[in-house]
Amino acid sequence: EFVIYSCKKESPIYLDTAYQVACKNWSLTVKDIEDILMNSEIIDAIDVHNEFYTLQCYYKGRLSYKGNEYAYEVTAGSFSVLYNRDTSIYLGYFKDKNYFLVKPDSTVD
């Protein structure tokens, strides 16, 4: 189970206008983030590179998972990463629920 301690949306201001609008309108709740993390599959960095869009629009914060604390990022590109000093865990979301701007191996909606 994931216990989320903090959550903040991040999006750089250098993005193109259409992307900035899409990112600005993209919204997740803490409950959404918990659902995303609980229903994601562990993937590796190669999967992230080959199947997911790395978008600079994401939620970040701190959480606890299986007794360990991690920083996390949930990206608009349908993948998440949990990381601490020793570990990085990549998670891909392949379910049908449309939480993201871009689905795996897809195009912007």
Alpha-carbon distances, residue 50 vs 27, 70, 102 (angstroms): 25, 25, 14
Is the pLDDT at 52 greater than 70? The verdict is yes
Half-sphere exposure of 26 (CA within 13 A, CB side): 28
CA atoms within 13 A on the CB side of 84: 9
pTM over 0.85: yes
pLDDT of residue 64: 95
Q: What confidence tens digit (pLDDT) does each residue in 80-95 have?
A: 999 999 999 999 999 9
In eight-state DSSP terms, residue 78 is: S
For residue range 32-51, list pLDDT tens digits in order: 999 999 999 999 988 888 88
Cβ atoms 76, 102 nearer than 8 A:
yes
What does R_g of the chain's alpha carbons equal in angstroms? 13
| The predicted structure's pLDDT at residue 58 | 94
pLDDT digits (tens, 9 = 90+) for 2-26: 999 999 998 776 556 777 888 888 9
- C-alpha 51 chain-centroid distance: 14
Which two structure tokens, joined as six digits, stand for 12? 């750089």
CA angle 88, 50, 90 (to 5 degrees): 15
What is the reported pLDDT for 108?
A: 43
CA 47 to CA 25: how far, in whole Å? 27
State the residue for tokens 């990206």.
75
